[in-house]
A and B are shown apart, each in its own frame.
Chain A
Amino acid sequence: GENVEQHPSTLSVQEGDSAVIKCTYSDSASNYFPWYKQELGKRPQLIIDIRSNVGEKKDQRIAVTLNKTAKHFSLHITETQPEDSAVYFCAAGEGNEKLTFGTGTRLTIIP
């Protein structure tokens, strides 16, 4: 089955700086890669996703890049703000019917 590894497990950045979270996956059949943000005690919320037919996708301060050859994808957050502090999860799957999640990255934005 699919195996997703996520790094780093914790990340602290100064407000205004950029944050990068990286994930690798094992199953070359995976073609859907979403990213979720989870605030303490709350539900995970989809922030961006990418499919295997594109290499990069942006939405305002958030971007995701995908390297199918190397089987890795990354989340980039620019101009970080205090409200970006949360746990971020990557996931991979074939379609979205069965996703495998990474273990999460706790991002702390330092004012």
Chain B
Amino acid sequence: DGGITQSPKYLFRKEGQNVTLSCEQNLNHDAMYWYRQDPGQGLRLIYYSQIVNDFQKGDIAEGYSVSREKKESFPLTVTSAQKNPTAFYLCASSMLGGQPQHFGDGTRLSIL
């Protein structure tokens, strides 16, 4: 969906380095999500946020952090505590009240 922009498309991280993945939406969606996708696996929820300045841990939050200072932005930081960060990261957004989630194009993170 053109309304959800993730950047960069590819990202490389050195050992011990924090990196931040950007996710911006112009759909006026209330909720935003971060998922991790590994080969042969489904999407696993890292963090989600339903309103500004509030967010909840998903199933695999360890080693990640997020912020939600603006409705349209939900950046994800992969910290050095995440020992296996190589994956495809997908951001999604939706209206509240049982509306479908729409995804961005993803960021592929690799370790140098």
Q: Which candidate, A58-66, A74-82, A98-106, is the interface stretch facing chain B?
A: A98-106
Q: Which residues of A contact B31 (CB under 8 A)?
A: 97
B43 within 8 A of A: yes
B103 within 8 A of A: yes
Q: Which of A4, A9, A44 lies in contact with B90, CB distance below 8 A?
A: A44
Q: Which of A51, A95, A98, A103 lies in contact with B42, CB distance below 8 A?
A: A103
User: Provided the pairs A43-B103, A45-B103 are in contact, do residues A32 and B42 lie with their beta carbons within 8 angstroms?
Assistant: no
Q: Which candidate, B15-23, B63-71, B92-100, is the interface stretch facing chain A?
A: B92-100
Q: Which residues of B contact A96 (CB under 8 A)?
A: 94, 98-101
Q: Which residues of B contact A6 (CB under 8 A)?
A: 42
Q: Which of A44, A95, A98, A104 lies in contact with B97, CB distance below 8 A?
A: A95
Q: Which residues of B contact A29 (CB under 8 A)?
A: none
B106 within 8 A of A: yes
CB of B26, distance to nearest CB on chain A (Å): 16
CB of B33, distance to nearest CB on chain A (Å): 8
Distance in angstroms between the alpha carbons of A89 and B45 in the assembled complex = 14
Q: Which residues of A contact B35 (CB under 8 A)?
A: 101
Are B105 and A97 interface neighbours, CB within 8 A? no
Are B40 and A97 interface neighbours, CB within 8 A? no
Are B103 and A44 interface neighbours, CB within 8 A? yes
Extra inter-chain contacts (12) besides given A32-B98, A44-B103, A45-B103, CB under 8 Å: A9-B40, A34-B100, A43-B1, A43-B90, A43-B106, A44-B90, A46-B101, A96-B98, A97-B50, A100-B59, A101-B43, A103-B40
**10 closest cross-chain pairs (CB), A and B:** A101-B42, A43-B103, A101-B43, A103-B42, A95-B98, A46-B100, A44-B103, A43-B105, A102-B42, A96-B98
B residues lining the A interface (CB < 8 Å): 1, 31, 35, 40-45, 48, 50, 58-59, 90, 94, 96-106
